[in-house]
Chains A and B, each alone.
Chain A
Amino acid sequence: MKYILITLLAIFTLLAGCTAVDLNAPLPGYETGIDPNAWASIPAGEFFFGQHDESAETEAFEIMLTNVTTAQYAAYLNNALADGSVKLDGDQVVGFYPGDKFHGAKHEEPIEAGDWIFIPLDDPSQRIKFDGEIFTVQPGYEDHPMTMVSWFGAWGYCGFYDSRLPSEMEWEKAARGTDTRPYPWGEEIQRENANFYASRDPYEDMSSYGSRTTPVGFYNGMTYGDYATLDSASPYGLYDMAGNVWQWTGDITEGMHYRYMHGGSKDTYEMDLRIWVRNNATPTYYSPGVGFRCVR
């Protein structure tokens, strides 16, 4: 009898892990007051790059204050569909990419000129919907970062508005400023600094759907209901440069088709939120935890 009970308990526990996740569970509707259309100016000059503080230099550039939002991306898709920059291919939005030089390195895969996926439309995690004519945003997600977007989709967005994805150096400088801090806001991380795995923000429920994105600029020192955030802007005033979503960067590495991402996400522990930490994936990869912002 004892063994039957233990076995039943084990089966019950495992079945509990198979419960369906409600991907459309209600979201808190907080306004952050941060303008996703704003840009920050980053001056030319030296800064400390990477974990080991190597000296590096960038030209002056501007970078978006926040990640591209879902509303911004839907507006782009409507414009781009109208002028033929993107098209529908089954359940995907695709666009033309001129291809990369192939070096035949170990594990390198060719990225040839042609149409590549920008976003999937049939994935339940996709917050942009298409009714056959117009792209709209699932209500509540308008000011959340655009996710479920491939590197090509991020590249296409920035290019459409005469901007581009940041290089890794530009990204790190924008996040870090000119000192050696590990996080955009300083030396230490607390749960109220950023959206990361099990950071207990109001958008998270680790017992069911887990961690979800927070609206762009959420960690700005404001109090939402009874949840007080810390002002976590970078030295140049950028928000969400650590946590919330990984951000695609634009560098193309010789002998490697993977593209790098920075910043960590809602799904990673705080160690991945350190400025120099890199992630990478094939440029067709998309995820609920990957977004981007542009530079010009």
Chain B
Amino acid sequence: MQFIKDRFNYLFGSTKGLILVAIAMTAVVTAVWGMLSGPMAEFGVRDVVVRLLGMDMVPAAREGRIIILYHSIAMAVIAIEVYMITGLLKMKPLFKTVINTVITVGYITTMIFGLGFAYFGQNWAFHGLYIAGLTLIFFAGVMLVIALWPWNKEYHQPDKDYARTRSGVDLERVAFFAAALTTVISALFGAIPGSYFGNGFEVFLAENIIRYPEKTTMEYSIIGHLHIMLALIAVMITLIIGRWLNFKGILHKIAMPLMILGTIVLNLGVWGVVTPLEPVAHMIIYVGATPSMLAALLLLIWSWRTLICEGTAHLPKPSFGQKLSALVRDPLRFGPTWQMLFMNTTVSGIGIFMAIRLDEIFRVWPAREERIELTGHWHVLSAILATIILLYYGDMIGLKGKVRQFYGWSIIILSNIAFAAVTFFEMKRLFVAEAEQQPIVNVLMYVMDAALALLLVLLAVVMAWRLMDLFRSNGRWKAEREQELSQEVRR
């Protein structure tokens, strides 16, 4: 009994244990549900999975199923970010315990009963529990906002190396607070229309209505919700990585006000889509996105400079090659910001390119081609965010030496190959005619699927290792039970 109690306390009572559980659950869902589409469906694997698990996939309910699947995975990711925040930032222990407990119950309930409802027979009690799970996560978010309140003197920043106001208010904490507060408000942007459409079960995917000349307020609200939630998850992970790496100095002082400004303006733009400001909402969004991306760029510059300085400190006059070698010697510290840069190439860059040439390229394609680009675009964004979390997790579990190198570089290289292939796939109409695309489609699909499959295998190995570790009386889990992320922030 003590054996189970100790493991349970680690998995559900410590930050690292909670993160492990959420990653494991996300990995299982991704692996199983990933077999229901793409080449896996073509090879007939989907039929086997559906039969084996007894899934019931009503054709008319496809859109609703997918929405629940996205939410199930997203809630686990949000929970991971919340664990990281409560582990990294100062807050009252009671708040930390309550927030972590509520969000854990919330995302697990959402995931189990959401997927149970969507894929296994539409039991209405399950749907109710799915909504209850989402509500708990919302409640945890509200408590996080309260816990992060930055104007409490207890949380003032005494160190002048960090962004702070004259009175000592920690601007990094304000940035976290702004992101958390706007996340909670933006969640309502999905919840309200979600209730409206969900009550009649008249769900839709935003990418399918993008060309409708007239959209209702509720439809705009859904489109705004999905964009801003992903953007806020990205903002939050940028802040988390910054905290983990101990982002400071002059760039920190410039970046934090930019991040606060960007977060607020970005949200105002998105909320504006349901107001008379709708015609200029996109412009406000661009204005808000720019300082946020600049703040991320400053983090990148600072972290790369730090890695180079640390790695060449012993050399009197390092050459370019030595600096480069110092930059990439630790993939887990180099990777997160590299992924952010890569994200700007494969996601933001493509998005801006398409937005600028909307009428010449995008809108000449049939709607289904536009849908491929849109869904590819945000699948890549979501997956890159997941890889950043995994890179941080690698450091968190203390990977060292060759294992650290292998784990880190595998994530970076495999994900970059996959996402580059997705980007080419999205843009293929620019360089290959429809009738002649099959060979290039085959290669791109195999490349992206093989890379993602290998990535999942790597994750499975890590999860299996962590599972085996739990059976050891003096395993890594025992040490992790007592460790806190704030203690591991680089000094």
Chain A positions within 8 Å of B, measured between CB atoms, are 13-14, 16-21, 23, 51-52, 105-109, 124-125, 180, 182-183, 187, 189, 197-198, 206-210, 253-256, 258, 261, 267-269, 271-272, 274, 278-282, 285, 287-290
Q: How far is the CA of A83 from the CA of B342 in the complex (A)?
A: 59
Please report which residues of chain B, range 364-417, place their CB below 8 angstroms from some CB of chain A when the two chains form the complex.
364-368
Measured between beta carbons, the chain A residues less than 8 angstroms from B443 are 13-14, 16-17
Please report which residues of chain B, range 436-452, place their CB below 8 angstroms from some CB of chain A when the two chains form the complex.
436-444, 446-447
A21 x B438 contact (CB < 8 A):
yes
Given contacts A255-B213, A269-B41, contact A288 B435 (CB under 8 A): yes
Q: How far is the CA of A261 from the CA of B369 in the complex (A)?
A: 14
B212 to chain A, nearest CB (A): 8
A105 x B213 contact (CB < 8 A):
yes
A19 x B359 contact (CB < 8 A):
no
B144 to chain A, nearest CB (A): 37
Q: Does B70 contact A (CB under 8 A)?
A: no
Instruction: Indicate which residue in B200, B364, B441 contacts A282 across the interface (CB closer than 8 Å).
Output: B364
B442 x A272 contact (CB < 8 A):
no
B211 x A182 contact (CB < 8 A):
no
A198 x B363 contact (CB < 8 A):
no
Q: How far is the CA of A187 from the CA of B439 in the complex (A)?
A: 33
Q: Does B488 contact A (CB under 8 A)?
A: no
Measured between beta carbons, the chain A residues less than 8 angstroms from B363 are 107, 282
B438 x A258 contact (CB < 8 A):
no
B42 x A274 contact (CB < 8 A):
no
Q: How far is the CA of A287 from the CA of B213 in the complex (A)?
A: 24
Q: Does B161 contact A (CB under 8 A)?
A: no
B204 to chain A, nearest CB (A): 8
Given contacts A52-B201, A183-B59, A258-B211, contact A267 B365 (CB under 8 A): no
Size of interface on B: residues with Cβ below 8 Å to A = 37
Measured between beta carbons, the chain B residues less than 8 angstroms from A278 are 208, 367
B213 x A279 contact (CB < 8 A):
no
Instruction: Indicate which residue in B37, B366, B440 contacts A287 across the interface (CB closer than 8 Å).
Output: B366
Instruction: Indicate which residue in A18, A108, A285 contacts B439 across the interface (CB closer than 8 Å).
Output: A18
B214 x A255 contact (CB < 8 A):
yes
Given contacts A14-B443, A253-B213, A256-B211, contact A281 B59 (CB under 8 A): no
Measured between beta carbons, the chain A residues less than 8 angstroms from B37 are 269
Q: How far is the CA of A187 from the CA of B436 in the complex (A)?
A: 33
Measured between beta carbons, the chain B residues less than 8 angstroms from A269 are 37, 41
Q: Knowing that A16-B439, A52-B201 are A-B contacts, what are 7 other residue pairs whose CB atoms are under 8 Å apart, sorted by A's residue number?
A: A13-B443, A17-B440, A125-B433, A210-B441, A255-B213, A274-B59, A281-B367
Q: How far is the CA of A290 from the CA of B365 in the complex (A)?
A: 13
> Per-residue CB proximity of B202-226 to A under 8 Å, as 1/0?
1000001001111000000000000
Residue of A nearest to B63 (CB): A51
Q: Does B60 contact A (CB under 8 A)?
A: yes
Given contacts A107-B359, A258-B211, contact A210 B42 (CB under 8 A): no
Residue of B nearest to A253 (CB): B213
Measured between beta carbons, the chain B residues less than 8 angstroms from A210 are 437-438, 441
Residue of A nearest to B39 (CB): A198
B434 x A20 contact (CB < 8 A):
no
Q: Does B62 contact A (CB under 8 A)?
A: yes
A51 x B60 contact (CB < 8 A):
yes
A108 to chain B, nearest CB (A): 7
Measured between beta carbons, the chain B residues less than 8 angstroms from A255 are 213-214
B432 to chain A, nearest CB (A): 9
Q: How far is the CA of A95 from the CA of B37 in the complex (A)?
A: 42
A112 to chain B, nearest CB (A): 17
Given contacts A21-B436, A52-B200, A282-B363, contact A187 B59 (CB under 8 A): yes
Measured between beta carbons, the chain A residues less than 8 angstroms from B439 are 16-19, 21, 207-208
B368 x A288 contact (CB < 8 A):
no
Instruction: Indicate which residue in A124, A206, A271 contacts B442 across the interface (CB closer than 8 Å).
Output: A206
B435 x A124 contact (CB < 8 A):
yes
Measured between beta carbons, the chain A residues less than 8 angstroms from B435 are 21, 23, 124-125, 209, 288
Q: How far is the CA of A253 from the CA of B367 in the complex (A)?
A: 15
Measured between beta carbons, the chain A residues less than 8 angstroms from B201 are 52
Residue of A nearest to B213 (CB): A255
Q: How far is the CA of A279 from the CA of B368 in the complex (A)?
A: 6
